[in-house]
Chain A
Amino acid sequence: MENSKDIFNEKPKSSFAKAFDVISTMASKPSGFIGLAILVFHIILAITSPWFAPYDYKAINPSLMLNAPSSEFWFGTDSLGRDVFTRTILGGRTALTITFFGSIIALLWGGLLGIFCGLVGGRIDDIVMRIVDAFLSIPWILAMLLIVSLLGTTTEVLIPALGFFYGKGIVRVARAATHDVIAKDFIVSAKARGHSNLSIIWNEILPNVRDAILVEGAMRWSWMLLGFSSLSFLGFGVSPPTPDWGLMISNARGLMSFAWWAVIAPIVGLSSLIIGINLTADAFAKALGIDRSTKAPV
């Protein structure tokens, strides 16, 4: 419960101040603080790593094959004699970029379609949702492999393809969140005034479902990251010699028994990023007043 006096004197805040409020609430809990710290660390690392990477990530040196970690090569070297530390700090760049833009695409199409279906209901809703269900029932990795092998593994293919496959889950969440507000009188009132569907979506529904969709988008981001790394692991993500965690794990796993360092470093990189995003998303949800543990609208 809040001090009512504070509520009554509260002035409307700029969206910047609101965002700051949310972030400071997130950071006030240990789990949120850790999540945010990991995420920020990874983002800064991804942006700045090319400037301080100690070695060339693609410099192959047969004489340095599978060296154990040392003061020269902090994380050791891989089977081609490349520095694992260099490749690890650079390995998140592609994954983060592709999945970040992929998540935005997923949020946009999934969120808007979900809200639209929730609003219009009836037959259109039925048809769209059955199509979404049909897509949900296809193992995404099969479909992704098909797309990638047909169209190639370029960024321009991967971003929209990932965005599409991870957006269909958001449709359901956005639709459910819309159903929560759609029966409220302020929507009925807007309908009775004769506003267009677009205006109702934009003005009345979006501000009320935005939080739920954003949180869902953050969770999708971490799943997409895992998905993208799986693709790389299978050899359909980034192409060598670009460093990528999924690819690095795939290349080094056969040698795990005697060169564990080559596989541990990318694993720690990938899992810490995913844990960071998950913790951040949970803290984000709590700061916005959505409890994911009790409310899973999928």
Chain B
Amino acid sequence: MKTNIQEIKDLSIGFKSQKGKQISILRNITTNIRKGETVGIVGESGSGKSTLALAMMGYIKQGLFTTGGECLFKSQNLLSLNNKELEDIRGRKIAMIPQNAGQALTPNLKIGYQIEEALKLHTDYSKGEREQKISELLNQVRLPSPKIMALRYPHELSGGQQQRVAVAMALAGNPELLLLDEPTTGLDVTTQAHVLELLKDIAKDTGTSMVYVSHDLGAIAQVCDRVIVMYAGEIVLEGPVRKILKEPIHPYTYGLLKSIPKLSLIGLPDSMPGSQPQPGNIGNGCSFYNRCNFSNDECKVNVPKLEYLSEMDTSVRCFNHSELISKTSEQKMKNHSQKKITIDEILDLKDVSISYAKQGIIDQFLNKVTDTNPTVKDINININKGETISLVGESGSGKSTILKSIAGLLKTKDGHIKFDKEKLLSGDLKKRNSEDLRSIQLIFQNPDESLNPNHTVEQILSQPLKLYFGLTGSKLKESIVELLEKVRLGAFYMSRYPRQLSGGEKQRIAVARAFAARPDIILCDEVTSALDVSVQAAVLDLLHKLKEELGTTYIFVSHDLAVVKAISDRVAVLYQGRLCEIGPSKDVYQFPSHPYTEVLIGAVLEPDPDIKPKLVAEDIVEEKPPEIGCSFQGRCPRIIGDKCRNETPPWQFGDNGNAIRCHIDIEELKIQQS
């Protein structure tokens, strides 16, 4: 057994409410981090995982205080040290990598200078040695040409590169323990896979212990040796990553794993009912009692202890874990009935181009957009009534831009959008008639921003009802109750403000608002990416049921390929505002596919330590699409030469109906990719 580098004993952290009641955020945490191992801390938002990680470096957020226990780093209690003593430990022995490196780096200082600062603080190198070390560190995090990189400012780097610099800074002090707080959450799928690969190698090379905080079980599966699952401020399950992810013996973990959409499965994932109890709102018994499918009367009254099972090297906080052991880990997804889609076109995007370029004065007068290289170009998609079509791609692929222009929030440069076969939708919102506006509704990514914080649910839902149907009085109230029922919420929600709702409930209200207009098309912009996985599954399920009930067409935008696969009938893959591939979802996810689709699918992280991502291309970030040739030429792993650079690739059709825009012959692709 390796020596422990950090031991946490019976740690509780809480705060005092306005009424003077003490409320716990972390309750009796006991665990340890061994030398050289990578430990993952998983949990939904509000489970206390970040608070625990910060306590590991002796930091407790303002307003919080320790209510018991200690946090020993090499048998020194960090929570009893003063600031001066902590300064010697932080950075030198324990380092932290923040979630958003873009915000953690000082914008007006060069990268090299910032790393040197860290070196000055935490090491005794001379100036020459420091310069040497900066290059070494940048090399270690695999940034190209470190000498030039050191002279750049943070904004000149991409998100992935910024994160690498943050890793380099953390490594400057040669720490023995590295804390990572959701280090890849804001990154694109391909970049994320690359950064995780790097972290894994660093752990192997330097022997540093790592604590990896994340809500993403896919990322945890790739880097961690051991996993701690947290729920409502408690550890509910702890053990080796393989055991936890393959044979989860706690009902929460079991449900969590089932609610993650996976590429290997068809259909929607199971959702978990309810939501995590708020701190201070936890009842007598097991904190998971209300959401548990395996609970009995004992769970309601008694709090289960964290029990160590030596045969599995796992600790679990559940009375009925033995029942779960016998459960097969085989997962069945609900097969959503793939309705036969009638070819009844509802929306037709023809040669759509959208430009963000600023017009010159003369062009403004002539009402002309002159931009030879628009952000979005040549989009041709026909959307049929009742189908769910998804637009996927990394950030900057133009998927949200297209959605906005369908909603009328952005003018198209060329091409047209036709609704219901003959009606031409104006690019100007003001010129659309009320009927067209009603037919197309939007649901946004973040319900915190899409619901007016100063309106009650009743006010929020009455906006579209008043606007489109002129409802008032008791009619209006009835319709609101009906809508709330549709999204599985009770009528008592009417008087609540968004801040009184959980993330999932807020998104349900946003869904209800969209459906209030009785639209034909709903545009969903990353509707689940701000939600926890268990909530995400429930929202996806709701959207699917509403669609079956009402026959609404969805246009779904997401960067998460697994979510897209679960919900959509057809998928369109975009890169730099150009279509790469489009087809029925099951065919797009199979080979042969466009090299970009191949890269994307390869980078998806499955919550299974045995499925490794396939990194086929570099994670370079391109800022602008190339003027001529294939849009993916800059990163394509299968590029075949000048043809790709000079000629726009033709559409080729696969056996099953997916269309690929590539110069490589489709049969050739099939051979290369198999």
Interface positions of A (Cβ within 8 A of B): 1-8, 10-12, 184-186, 188-195, 199, 203-204, 207-208
Nearest to A208 among chain B residues (CB) is: B454
When chains A and B are docked, how far (Å) is the Cα of A3 from the Cα of B17?
A: 5
Known contacts A1-B15, A4-B281, A11-B495; A190/B453 CB under 8 A: no
- Interchain CB contact (< 8 A) of A195 among B453, B467, B499: B467
When chains A and B are docked, how far (Å) is the Cα of A207 from the Cα of B17?
A: 28
Interface 9-residue window, one of B248-256, B437-445, B571-579, B622-630 = B437-445
Does B463 contact A4, Cβ atoms closer than 8 Å? no
Does B429 contact A191, Cβ atoms closer than 8 Å? yes
Does B432 contact A194, Cβ atoms closer than 8 Å? yes
Ordered by A's residue number, 20 sampled pairs between the chains whose C-beta atoms are within 8 Å are A3-B21, A4-B23, A4-B281, A5-B278, A6-B17, A7-B500, A8-B281, A10-B500, A11-B495, A185-B449, A186-B452, A188-B409, A190-B463, A191-B409, A192-B407, A192-B429, A192-B440, A193-B517, A194-B429, A194-B437
The DSSP consensus for interface residues of chain A is: helix
Please give the distance in Å from B462's CB to the nearest CB on chain A. 10
Please give the distance in Å from A160's CB to the nearest CB on chain B. 31
Q: Specify which chain A residues have a CB less than 8 angstroms from the CB of B432 in the assembled complex.
A: 194
Q: Mark B14-28, 1 if CB is under 8 A from A, else 0.
A: 010111010100000
Nearest to A123 among chain B residues (CB) is: B364
Please give the distance in Å from B526's CB to the nearest CB on chain A. 11
Q: Mark B440-482, 1 if CB is under 8 A from A, else 0.
A: 1110111001111111100100011001100000000000000
Which residues between 77 and 130 of chain B lie within 8 Å of chain A, taking CB atoms?
none
When chains A and B are docked, how far (Å) is the Cα of A10 from the Cα of B492?
A: 12
Please give the distance in Å from B369's CB to the nearest CB on chain A. 16
B175 contacts partner chain A, Cβ-Cβ < 8 Å? no
Does B17 contact A2, Cβ atoms closer than 8 Å? yes
Known contacts A3-B17, A6-B17, A207-B455; A186/B450 CB under 8 A: yes
Does B452 contact A207, Cβ atoms closer than 8 Å? yes
When chains A and B are docked, how far (Å) is the Cα of A87 from the Cα of B409?
A: 62
Does B18 contact A3, Cβ atoms closer than 8 Å? yes
When chains A and B are docked, how far (Å) is the Cα of A195 from the Cα of B467?
A: 7
Known contacts A3-B280, A192-B429; A207/B63 CB under 8 A: no
Please give the distance in Å from B61's CB to the nearest CB on chain A. 10
Nearest to B279 among chain A residues (CB) is: A4
Q: Specify which chain B residues have a CB less than 8 angstroms from the CB of A208 in the assembled complex.
A: 452-454
Please give the distance in Å from A254's CB to the nearest CB on chain B. 54
Q: Mark B504-525, 1 if CB is under 8 A from A, else 0.
A: 0000000001000100000000
Interface positions of B (Cβ within 8 A of A): 15, 17-19, 21, 23, 63, 278-281, 407-409, 429, 432, 434, 437-438, 440-442, 444-446, 449-456, 459, 463-464, 467-468, 495-497, 499-500, 513, 517
Q: Specify which chain A residues have a CB less than 8 angstroms from the CB of B444 in the assembled complex.
A: 185, 188-189
When chains A and B are docked, how far (Å) is the Cα of A208 from the Cα of B467?
A: 21
Please give the distance in Å from A111's CB to the nearest CB on chain B. 16
Please give the distance in Å from B235's CB to the nearest CB on chain A. 21
Q: Specify which chain A residues have a CB less than 8 angstroms from the CB of B453 in the assembled complex.
A: 208
Q: Specify which chain A residues have a CB less than 8 angstroms from the CB of B19 in the assembled complex.
A: 3, 6
Q: Specify which chain B residues have a CB less than 8 angstroms from the CB of A194 in the assembled complex.
A: 429, 432, 434, 437-438, 467
Nearest to B450 among chain A residues (CB) is: A185
Please give the distance in Å from A5's CB to the nearest CB on chain B. 5
When chains A and B are docked, how far (Å) is the Cα of A184 from the Cα of B500?
A: 19
Q: Specify which chain B residues have a CB less than 8 angstroms from the CB of A3 in the assembled complex.
A: 17-19, 21, 23, 280
Q: Specify which chain A residues have a CB less than 8 angstroms from the CB of B63 in the assembled complex.
A: 1
Q: Specify which chain B residues have a CB less than 8 angstroms from the CB of A2 in the assembled complex.
A: 17-18
Please give the distance in Å from B409's CB to the nearest CB on chain A. 6
- Interchain CB contact (< 8 A) of A193 among B23, B441, B446, B455: B441
Does A1 contact B495, Cβ atoms closer than 8 Å? no
When chains A and B are docked, how far (Å) is the Cα of A185 from the Cα of B403?
A: 14
When chains A and B are docked, how far (Å) is the Cα of A189 from the Cα of B500?
A: 21
Please give the distance in Å from B317's CB to the nearest CB on chain A. 22
When chains A and B are docked, how far (Å) is the Cα of A193 from the Cα of B409?
A: 10
Nearest to B453 among chain A residues (CB) is: A208
Please give the distance in Å from B191's CB to the nearest CB on chain A. 25
Does A186 contact B451, Cβ atoms closer than 8 Å? yes
Most B CB contacts (10 A, CB to CB) among A2, A189, A207 go to: A189
When chains A and B are docked, how far (Å) is the Cα of A3 from the Cα of B449?
A: 23
Please give the distance in Å from A120's CB to the nearest CB on chain B. 12
Q: Specify which chain B residues have a CB less than 8 angstroms from the CB of A10 in the assembled complex.
A: 500
When chains A and B are docked, how far (Å) is the Cα of A169 from the Cα of B273?
A: 52
Q: Which 6 A-B pairs have the closest CB atoms?
A: A3-B17, A207-B454, A4-B278, A185-B450, A194-B437, A185-B444
Please give the distance in Å from B452's CB to the nearest CB on chain A. 5
Q: Specify which chain A residues have a CB less than 8 angstroms from the CB of B441 in the assembled complex.
A: 192-193
When chains A and B are docked, how far (Å) is the Cα of A184 from the Cα of B510?
A: 14
Contacts A189-B450, A193-B517 known; 9 new A-B pairs at CB < 8 A: A5-B281, A6-B19, A7-B500, A185-B444, A186-B450, A192-B437, A193-B441, A193-B467, A203-B463
When chains A and B are docked, how far (Å) is the Cα of A195 from the Cα of B408?
A: 13
When chains A and B are docked, how far (Å) is the Cα of A204 from the Cα of B453?
A: 9
Does B21 contact A184, Cβ atoms closer than 8 Å? no
Does B17 contact A1, Cβ atoms closer than 8 Å? yes
Q: Specify which chain A residues have a CB less than 8 angstroms from the CB of B438 in the assembled complex.
A: 194
Does B495 contact A12, Cβ atoms closer than 8 Å? yes
Does B280 contact A5, Cβ atoms closer than 8 Å? yes
Nearest to A206 among chain B residues (CB) is: B454
Does B449 contact A184, Cβ atoms closer than 8 Å? yes
- Interchain CB contact (< 8 A) of A186 among B15, B449, B456, B499: B449
Most A CB contacts (10 A, CB to CB) among B15, B63, B449, B499 go to: B449
Nearest to B20 among chain A residues (CB) is: A3
Q: Specify which chain A residues have a CB less than 8 angstroms from the CB of B446 in the assembled complex.
A: 185
Most B CB contacts (10 A, CB to CB) among A1, A5, A7, A204 go to: A1
Does B450 contact A8, Cβ atoms closer than 8 Å? no
When chains A and B are docked, how far (Å) is the Cα of A8 from the Cα of B496?
A: 8
Q: Specify which chain A residues have a CB less than 8 angstroms from the CB of B278 in the assembled complex.
A: 4-5, 8
Known contacts A4-B281, A6-B17, A185-B444; A192/B408 CB under 8 A: yes
Q: Specify which chain B residues have a CB less than 8 angstroms from the CB of A184 in the assembled complex.
A: 449-450
Known contacts A5-B280, A208-B453; A193/B437 CB under 8 A: yes
Q: Specify which chain A residues have a CB less than 8 angstroms from the CB of B513 in the assembled complex.
A: 189
Please give the distance in Å from A140's CB to the nearest CB on chain B. 34
When chains A and B are docked, how far (Å) is the Cα of A11 from the Cα of B278?
A: 18
Q: Specify which chain B residues have a CB less than 8 angstroms from the CB of A195 in the assembled complex.
A: 463, 467
Does B452 contact A192, Cβ atoms closer than 8 Å? no
